[in-house]
Amino acid sequence: MRPLTPVTPRARAVLGVSFFVLFVAVWAAVTFGGLVPKIFLADPLQMLRSGWVLMTEMDFAHDIGMTMWRVIGGFLIAAALALPLGVMMGAYKPVEAFFEPFVSFARYLPASAFIPLLILWAGIGEAQKLALIFIGSFFQLVLMIAVTVGNTRRDLVEAAYTLGSSDSSLVRRVLIPGAAPEIAETLRMVLGWAWTYVIVAELIGASSGIGHMITDSQALLATDQIIFGIIVIGLIGLASDLLFKWANRRLFPWAQLGR
């Protein structure tokens, strides 16, 4: 194979699907074939059956809805605050010098380690879940947005000044629109991380949500339900990712050119 040579879209789709098929086939082989006892790993059919039961009899849709609400809520709060702060840090170096060291430190604080504190401060209600997602995504977003804005091509900045831009219009008309596609990519990526935080938040002290269902299933050794829950998370993640990519392409057609 020659490195970096592109594949046709058709071949790409076939290859992508075939790994899923292979994955399920191996899973089916080891479970149906008896290589792995049922108590450790349910087989694919069992997983689908209990998924059906979860959806039809145990109102799992409500859990999914709760989890999605928490992810989207916490993420939107984080993004709403991170966007202006990140842009300010990227554009104005004193602002960056003021916040950057703390944010760099804070982003390495493991969000899940805050759970005991957050339960103490915010109880085990929704506020605690949102706060955890906020902590997990806010600092990452701020830093990546600041870097993106700070990396604006200097010659574009100079061109804008020679066309009569003021400092504030430079931020509005050059720094923000120029950084927008990459900021949207950052949001897409960090939303994916937010999904891992929400499940952690729900594993401890939750009465609803996908993570809650998974903890409940653990007590019953219901690996079929656990796997179903994990797959649902994966599918929602994939769907939101595709949605984000589609929206970015629609919003920033110019950024797709020459790729």
For other proteins, the binding residues (CB under 8 A) are 153, 155-156, 158-166, 169, 173-174, 177-178, 180, 252-255, 257-258
- State the nearest-atom distance from the C-beta of 152 to other proteins, in Å: 11
The Cα 106–Cα 201 span in angstroms is 19
Beta-carbon count within 10 A of 223 CB: 21
186 CB burial (10 A radius; 0-12, 13-18, 19+): buried
- State the nearest-atom distance from the C-beta of 254 to other proteins, in Å: 5
Give the nearer residue to other proteins in terms of CB position, either 244 or 252.
252
- State the nearest-atom distance from the C-beta of 256 to other proteins, in Å: 9
Give the nearer residue to other proteins in terms of CB position, either 52 or 161.
161
C-alpha distances out from residue 117 to 33, 126, 131, 134, Å = 46, 15, 11, 14
Give the nearer residue to other proteins in terms of CB position, either 5 or 162.
162
Give the nearer residue to other proteins in terms of CB position, either 95 or 180.
180
C-beta separation of 85 from 79 below 8 A: no
- State the nearest-atom distance from the C-beta of 148 to other proteins, in Å: 14
Measured at the CA of 210, the angle between CA 136 and CA 237, to 5 degrees, comes to 60
